[in-house]
Homo-oligomer: A and B are copies of this chain.
Amino acid sequence: MADPVACIGAGLVGRAWALVFATAGRRVRIFDERRETAEAALAFAAEMLPALADEDLLGKAAPAEVLGRLEVAGSLEAALEGADHVQESTPEDLQVKRAVFARLDAAAAPGATLASSTSALLPSSFTEDLPGRARCLVVHPINPPYLIRAAEVVPAPWTDAAVIERTARLLRASGMAPIVMTRELDGFVMNRMQGALLEEAFRLVADGYATIEDVDVGIREGLALRWSIMGPFETIDLNAPGGVRDYAIRYQRIYERLFPSMQRRVDWTGPVMDTIEADRRLRLPEAELPARAKWRDLRLMAFAAFKRRAARDIGE
Q: Interface on A for B, CB 8 Å cutoff?
A: 119-120, 142-143, 147-150, 152, 177-183, 185-187, 189-201, 204, 208-210, 212-234, 236-239, 241-245, 248-249, 252, 254-259, 261-263, 265, 267-269, 273, 276-277, 280-281, 284, 286, 289, 292-293, 295-296, 298-300, 302-304, 306-307, 310, 313-315
Q: Which 8 pairs from chain A and chain B are nearest by CB? A: A216-B231, A150-B222, A224-B228, A224-B227, A196-B200, A248-B268, A220-B231, A150-B221
Asked if residues B225 and A148 are in contact (CB atoms below 8 Å), the reply is yes
A-B contact list, 7 entries, CB within 8 Å: A187-B254, A199-B255, A224-B228, A225-B304, A238-B292, A238-B293, A252-B268
- Other-chain residue from B183, B219, B314 in contact with A295 (beta carbon distance below 8 A): B314
Asked if residues A217 and B187 are in contact (CB atoms below 8 Å), the reply is no
Asked if residues A210 and B193 are in contact (CB atoms below 8 Å), the reply is no
Nearest chain B CB to A97 CB, angstrom units: 15
With A215-B231, A217-B231, A244-B280 already in contact, 19 other A-B pairs whose C-beta atoms are closer than 8 Å: A149-B222, A177-B221, A182-B210, A185-B204, A187-B257, A189-B218, A193-B197, A193-B200, A196-B197, A196-B199, A196-B262, A201-B232, A215-B233, A227-B227, A228-B303, A229-B300, A230-B296, A242-B286, A302-B313
Asked if residues B259 and A199 are in contact (CB atoms below 8 Å), the reply is yes
CB neighbours (8 Å) of A190 from chain B are 218, 222-223
Nearest chain B CB to A121 CB, angstrom units: 10
Nearest chain B CB to A273 CB, angstrom units: 5
Nearest chain B CB to A185 CB, angstrom units: 5
Nearest chain B CB to A83 CB, angstrom units: 26
Asked if residues B186 and A258 are in contact (CB atoms below 8 Å), the reply is yes
A197 to B196, CA, bound (A): 6
A245 to B249, CA, bound (A): 40
CB neighbours (8 Å) of A231 from chain B are 213, 215-220, 224
- Other-chain residue from B217, B237, B280 in contact with A284 (beta carbon distance below 8 A): B237
A261 to B221, CA, bound (A): 30
A228 to B186, CA, bound (A): 26
